[in-house]
Amino acid sequence: MTDRIRRTVLVVLGLLWLAPVYLMLANAAKTDDQYGVVSVWRAVGLGGLVENVSTAWTRGNISEGVASTALYSVVAPALAVLVGAGAGFAIVALRLRHGFLWFVVIFAATVLPMQMLLMPLFIGYVQTGLYDTRTGMVLVYTVISVPFAAFVMRNFFTGIAYQVFEAAVVDGASTWRIFWRIYLPMSTSALVAVFILQATLIWNDLLLGLTLTQSSETRPVMTALSALQSTYGGSTMPTVLAGGLIVSVPTVVLFLLTQRAFTRGLALGQF
């Protein structure tokens, strides 16, 4: 009886989670004259989906946004997990003096909400020439991803016996060699899990993209999607929903391809 109730609850929760996906797909496939006339819950086929996707891809500069965001979502999390792993290694393996205090300082960057930092961040970017540049976006995304990466990697390295580090030192391995050849390979699952989470966070970012970018070549895809549905974009709702489908596909594919490593990293990383 308990298993049946659990199964029923999971099915209901799954249907509730899939309901917005169904609404997006059903209405993105409608033509302009069908939307607003036919109920949003009623699917009328996939007749208008191809046209709406094509319009969103070309008119809304979604293609340029996808290219820029793909760059940000790969480079920034990769740099962040390396920096976070280095911080966790220094605190745990190297027994850094006042290591916990350094960890608190690193993780304290997540205390203030991002909205409080937007104005000084914008002014600093303008003054240093980083505004509306891909380098600036990679830099800010890397910085905001480091605290969580350091948090996870510190927890993961705590579970590795210190005797591993001592044995490597006795064998004559340098600190860099121990980090690159022993600790990083042992933490692959945790690194992948953090990378996926931060890549998804960056891909879905809208706030920083609106604040720190202006040109279509630099702005992230969520900002391009936002411009598509603005007053100046002038696109109909089916086109905007089709753009939302385009934007959603990469993160879903990423999770499906890496779900085993992601699940293993969640367990081993002790989130």
In the chain, domain spans: 48-268
The encoded tokens of residue 164 equal 């591993």
Residue range 48-268 in CATH 3.40.1010.10: no
Helices (H), 60-161: 62-92, 99-107, 114-128, 134-158
The pLDDT tens digits along the chain (271 residues) read: 577 888 888 889 988 988 888 888 888 888 877 777 787 787 777 777 888 888 888 776 788 888 899 999 999 999 999 999 999 999 988 888 887 888 888 888 778 888 888 899 999 999 999 999 999 999 999 999 999 999 889 888 988 888 989 899 998 889 899 999 999 998 888 898 899 989 999 999 999 999 999 888 898 988 888 877 764 555 678 888 888 888 888 888 888 887 777 676 666 544 4
d(CA 56, CA 40): 20
d(CA 122, CA 117): 8
The alpha carbon of residue 30 and the mean position of all alpha carbons in its chain are separated, in whole angstroms, by 30
The encoded tokens of residue 136 equal 């600036």
Q: How many CB atoms lie within 10 A of CB 132?
A: 16
The encoded tokens of residue 127 equal 């003054």
